[in-house]
Structures are given as structure tokens and as C-alpha cells.
Amino acid sequence: MSAERSRFDEAYARLVLSNTFIETSDYYKQRKERYWNTLRLMKPFLVQGQRMLDIGGGQFALLTKALYACDSEVADLDSRHRASIDSAGVAFHHLDLMKDDFRFERPFDLVMLGEVIGHVPAPPHWIFEKLSKILKDGGCLVLTTPNLFRLRNVLRMMMAKPIFTPFVMPEKDRPPGHFIEYDQMQLEWQMREAGFIVELSEHVQLDMGGSTVPARVGRRLATPLYRLRPVLRDNLLLVGRKV
């Protein structure tokens, strides 16, 4: 095991598994590899000491502060679990991406949208344009989200089973479910429409987790297929740079 991986494991156990967030502790145990792989793929865009905004639950803010000495902050629709953020000395902003103005004391070097855009009932470019205003020139927007064409969705459509939760408007401290997903070309277009240069765009398999044992086993059995047909992988990772 590398020293880098050992440092991540220690930080994840201390900052994520030992704290309370919106998901259950079992979720974070199952999804540990997703956080590790996301940070590994983000590494070329992470600079020690940079200002970073994590839009979401705050796990990436805690980890980037611990591992890269980032000046990390959190913005989230749900404030009910902010104690874990406050106790780490990380600034928390109660923010509705749809309704609120984005006002921060200083611009950021990097904004992270980890598994968030599929919960926002608006064209992504509209959100990206708002985020561009709080980024420094040359700053990066990093995005991960489920892939619309992932194998799980293909199989559920073939069986005429629902893919998404009901489409509703979010409210503070009452976040919506997962009601939309995007394909790679769509998100690349959305980033460019917001004025970003797309520096990285990939189909990735961030982990082999799942809410049920059959889902977890199925993902592992599908590994050869993911290698042959990357478009069937579970996740998309995009990085856009503000110009």
C-alpha cells in the first residue's frame, strides 16, 4: 500500500466514517473507493493551499483540507448535518443552487460538484455560469455524476423499471432525490455553453458499491464489459477550466 493511500485511509476513517452526514455509515463504508478514485483523478488539478469549494455533503472539503492543505469550504442545500463540518473548522454556507446568489469573500481556485448536478432541476449550463462567477480566472470546475448510459440504466429500461426518483423542486433542508442523469456529450456541451474549456471528460468506474448485494456482485461481474465498453461505466468525470 502506498503512503498516499495510507494517508487517505486514515483521513477517511477519521473525517468521514467517524462523523455524521446525510447518508448512513454503511453508505460511506461501501463508497470509500469512490472518494479515493475521485481524489486520485482530481489530483492533477489540486494544488496545495488553494481555495476549494465543495458543493455537497462536505466530505471532499474535509479530505482536501487534510490531504492537500486546501483552504476548503462547503456549500450545501441541507444544513442538518453541518456539525461535522463546523467541528473541523471548515466554513459552511447554506446554499440553494437554484434560488440563492453566490456571494463569497474571495473567489475559488476549484469548485467541486460531486454527485450533485443530478439533483438540480435546471439546465446545467445555468448552474455552471453562476459557479463561474465565483471562480478565479483559470480556475477549475470538477464534476462527477452518474452516467445516463450506465449498464444499470440500460438493464432497468429493458425491464421497464423506473430509473429515477420523482422530479420535484428542492427546498433547504429538504433535498430532492435523484431525478435526472446526463450523457458525456450533453455535459460537455453544457460546460462549453457556460464558457468553460473542457480539459477532462471520461467515463469512469469510481467504485463497485451498490445498495444491494446483487448490485455489488453484478458490478464486479461486469468489469470485463466496462473495459470493453467504457460508455457503460457508472460515472462521468469532467473538468472545465474558466477562461
- How far, in Å, CA of 141 to CA of 7, rounded? 25
With a threshold of 0.85, does the pTM exceed it?
Answer: yes
9 pLDDT above the threshold of 80: yes
Q: What is the structure's pLDDT at 119?
A: 92
Q: Which residues contact 49 (CB under 8 A, 6 or more apart)?
A: 68, 69, 70, 71
Q: Which residues contact 108 (CB under 8 A, 6 or more apart)?
A: 51, 52, 53, 73, 134, 135, 136, 139
Q: What is the structure's pLDDT at 177?
A: 82
Nearest to 238 by CA among 192, 202, 196: 202
Tell me what the mean pLDDT of segment 129-133 comes to: 96
- How far, in Å, CA of 154 to CA of 139, rounded? 35
In tens, the pLDDT along 152-202 reads: 999 999 999 999 988 888 888 887 788 899 999 999 999 999 999 999 999
Which helix (DSSP H) or strand (DSSP E) does residue 114 occupy?
Answer: strand 108-114
